[in-house]
Amino acid sequence: MEIFDYDNILLLPRKCRVQSRSECDTSVEFGPRRFKLPVVPANMKTVLDEPIAEYLASNGYFYVMHRFEIDNLAFARRMRDRGLFVSISVGVKQADYEVVDRLAAEGLGADYITIDIAHGHAETVQRMIAHIKQKLPQSFVIAGNVGTPEAVIDLENWGADATKVGVGPGKVCITRLKTGFGTGGWQLSALKWCARVATKPIVADGGIREHGDIAKSVRFGATMVMIGSLFAGLEESPGRTVEVDGRLYKEYYGSASDFNKGEYKHVEGKRILEPVKGKLADTLREMQEDLQSSISYAGGRVLADIRKVNYVILGGNNAAEHLLM
């Protein structure tokens, strides 16, 4: 099996078909909506809060609200009052079933529901998908996280509308160290293998360190790319601001860290400090410009054209060029 990750792959240019990068369309259809970018900030407490969710929803971007210490019902109600789409996260516990029941009973619904647990290839997820589909049949269900083709096939068969791929590649993740499992270090090739069997969209989750990694994710099968660390250091980000030696940082911690959980039990996440670096709107604009460039290098006009390019795997004796596969 071919193993690679974001930092040892490069995509190969094809003849340019546009006069200007502004002709390249980065928008993507995902579920019932079209978004400006195939990018979504991670559903984590130090990455987004309600003002950021509101900004994203009202400016044509996808968002997924996190599920920690939040009243999903009240959040959904406020988004509906503002005429915005609702995209929430749930776990698989009794309280999460009650959230789904109440969204249905109160007629609020949810446009997108992400089932967000560490080991998403599980009967608990199968039951939650079935419950959502029964109570809120209009909701688009994203289920995860998983890291194998078998899991993608199961989740799709259980009724998920999209799967979220990535077990352990995150910047604040320690799953690989604590358990010996995951896609950390080979997330991009895991994505490739998952995409080969997928019949529905995939959200690539974790491991993005550069804007070019978004294009690489699309090349290997992602419809949407979930990113934490690149957003955690933004001025608007909800993480606590910390000053060290005169420099400003934002706290970024894992959802399975003791900082998020409030106790040291089944910890699979850590806390880091991200340098404060600019504003959300500027970052989104730069991501869009960079992705427009990626599309132009792919010899294309739309996002899907990136899927057509060849690539090389860098590094020592294993360097190899790959024709469309």
Ligand X SMILES: NC(=O)C1=CN([C@@H]2O[C@H](COP(=O)(O)OP(=O)(O)OC[C@H]3O[C@@H](n4cnc5c(N)ncnc54)[C@H](OP(=O)(O)O)[C@@H]3O)[C@@H](O)[C@H]2O)C=CC1
Binding site for ligand X (CB under 6 A): 91-93, 116-119, 124, 145, 166-168, 170, 173, 175, 206, 255-256, 266, 268
Contacted by 92, from ligand LQESDW3C, ligand X, none: CB < 5 to 8 Å by type: ligand X
145 binds ligand LQESDW3C (CB under 6 A): yes
Q: Which is nearer to ligand X, 42 or 215 (CB)?
A: 42
- Find out whether 215 is annotated in a ligand binding site: yes
CB of 134 to ligand LQESDW3C, least distance (A): 27
Cβ-contact 256, 42 below 8 angstroms: no
Token digits for 12?
Answer: 């190969």
User: Which option in ligand LQESDW3C, ligand X, none does residue 119 bind, with CB closer than 5 to 8 A by kind?
Assistant: ligand X
- Whole-number Å distance between alpha carbons of 44 and 47: 5
| Terminal-residue alpha carbon distance, the chain | 13
- In whole angstroms, how close is the CB of 277 to ligand LQESDW3C at the nearest point? 14
Helical (H) or strand (E) element with 163: strand 162-165
Q: Are 17 and 308 in contact (CB under 8 A)?
A: no
Q: Which is nearer to ligand LQESDW3C, 151 or 298 (CB)?
A: 151
Tokens encoding 297: 């290098």
Q: Is 87 annotated as a binding residue?
A: no
Give residue for tokens 């601001």. Answer: 241
Q: Which of 177, 136, 138, 183 is nearest to 164 (CA)?
A: 183
Smallest separation (angstroms) from ligand X to the CB of 58? 25
**Is 80 exposed, middle or buried, given 0-12, 13-18 or 19+ CB atoms closer than 10 A?**
middle
173 tagged catalytic: yes
Smallest distance from the beta carbon of 205 to ligand X, in angstroms?
A: 6
Closest alpha carbon to 221 in 129, 320, 106, 304: 304
Place of tokens 């460039």: 293
Whole-number minimum distance, CB 315 to ligand LQESDW3C, in Å? 21
* Number of residues lying near ligand LQESDW3C (CB under 6 A): 24
Residue 126 Cβ vs ligand X, minimum distance, rounded to whole Å: 13
Q: Is residue 87 a contact residue for ligand LQESDW3C (CB under 6 A)?
A: no
Q: One-letter amino acid identity for 288? A: Q
Nearer to ligand X among residue 12 and residue 174 (C-beta) = 174
d(CA 312, CA 4): 10
> 313-318 — which CB contacts under 8 Å span 24+ positions?
313/2, 313/4, 313/8, 313/9, 314/8, 314/9, 314/10, 315/8
Instruction: Decide whether 224 or 309 has the Cβ nearer to ligand LQESDW3C.
Output: 224
Residue 222 corresponds to which amino acid?
A
Q: How far is CA 167 from CA 70, 146, 176, 258, in A?
A: 24, 6, 8, 18
- Kindly report whether the peptide bond that precedes residue 145 is cis, defined as omega within 30 degrees of 0: yes
Q: Report if residue 256 touches ligand LQESDW3C, rule: CB under 6 A.
A: yes
Per CB under 6 A, the list member of 38, 170, 212, 238 interacting with ligand LQESDW3C is 170
| Residues 200-239 interacting with ligand LQESDW3C (rule: CB under 6 A) | 205-208, 226-229
| Residue among 16, 24, 173, 194 flagged as catalytic | 173
Interface with ligand LQESDW3C, residue 257, by CB under 6 A: yes
- Residues near ligand LQESDW3C (CB under 6 A) are 42, 44, 145, 166, 168, 170-173, 175, 205-208, 226-229, 254-257, 268-269
Task: Extract the annotated binding site.
Answer: 202-225
- Residues annotated within the binding site for NADP(+) are 202-225
- Catalytic positions: 173
